[in-house]
Amino acid sequence: MKALIIGAGQGKRLLPLTEVEPKALLEVGGKSLLEWQIESLIACGVEDIVVLAGFNLAAVEERLESFARRWPSASFRCVYNPFYGVADNLATCWMARHEMVGDFLLLNSDTLFSLPVLETLLASAPAPISLAVDHKEKYDDDDMKVQLQDGRLLDIGKKLPAERVQGESIGMLYFRGEGPRHFAAALEAAMRDPAAIRQWYLSVIAALAPKVEIQAVTISGRDWCEIDYPVDVQTAKRMVASWRPKPDDNLAAAESS
């Protein structure tokens, strides 16, 4: 199983935290976002990991070298987008279209998630494309909102009218069967339009929705957060702190062994 992690941007909304290193290497709870993600991927048997990199490529490559020493059975590499400064993530995905062969996961590098989130997506019913979604009472302008019908994606975007919104994408997709071929072909078609250079890859998912089955996989109740602003870092730190065993838990485990 392969995972593609989109991490080409600097993350300017997080400045000065990302002044030197890209958002993917931002540290939360003693680990970079990338390390948190890779730990979960390895735990789920995903051992072919490709980072779609851009800003400070050398720092990402150096970190992947350390991961290769830690997990010698896994494969780590970068696909470089030299246009990361002027292009959005649709173009970054297009640069990695040659990697979209066979089943694969696609993740945003700024999505921090607990292991059950990934396990839920991987255990979902077979579909060409599966999209992890969450649900809440109110959605803000920055949420990547989704319109659903009977568990199938109808539309996705930040500007969906409130009456059409049934959830939000968390930035994690699973492509299987014909899904990779459809996505790669749609990326090729989209990039023929010069405007695509400033578009999100999820606009391609929206264009595919009427033609290809895209199922929504609900991960509600499982921990995750998106990190775009400094305040999100504090939220993420509190979240990962809750994952660590409490002293009483360690004592109970020792007494029962």
The mean per-residue pLDDT over the stretch 81-96 comes to 92
Percent of the chain scored above 70 by pLDDT?
95
The mean per-residue pLDDT over the stretch 233-242 comes to 94
Whether 39 shows a pLDDT value over 80: the answer reads: yes
Residue type, 206: A
Domain spanning 2-243, CATH architecture: Alpha-Beta Complex (3.90)
Tokens in use for 46? Answer: 């995903």
Where does 123-220 have alpha helices with state H? 179-190, 202-208
Tokens in use for 175? Answer: 């492509």
Helices 57-70 and 33-43, packing angle to 10 deg: 40
The mean per-residue pLDDT over the stretch 187-206 comes to 93
Q: How much is the pLDDT for 246?
A: 62
Q: How much is the pLDDT for 110?
A: 94
CA dist 23 and 8 (Å) reads 9
Cα torsion for 187, 191, 192, 193, to the nearest 10°? 120
Percent of the chain scored above 90 by pLDDT?
84
* Residue listed under structure tokens 């694969």: 104
Q: How much is the pLDDT for 17?
A: 84
Question: pLDDT tens for residues 141-193?
Answer: 889 999 999 999 999 999 999 999 999 999 999 999 999 999 999 999 999 99
Give this prediction's pTM.
0.92
Q: How much is the pLDDT for 74?
A: 97
Q: How much is the pLDDT for 253?
A: 46
* Residue listed under structure tokens 């929705």: 209
Question: pLDDT tens for residues 104-149?
Answer: 999 999 999 999 999 999 999 999 999 999 999 899 988 999 999 9
Give the start-to-end residue ranges of the domains of the chain: 2-243
At residue 81, the 3 state secondary structure works out as coil
How many whole angstroms from its chain centre is CA 226? 9
At residue 93, the 3 state secondary structure works out as helix
pLDDT band, very low/low/confident/very high, at 5 (cuts 50, 70, 90)? very high
Whether 247 shows a pLDDT value over 90: the answer reads: no
Whether 252 shows a pLDDT value over 60: the answer reads: no
Q: How much is the pLDDT for 24?
A: 94
Average pLDDT, the chain: 93
Whether 245 shows a pLDDT value over 80: the answer reads: no
The mean per-residue pLDDT over the stretch 195-204 comes to 92
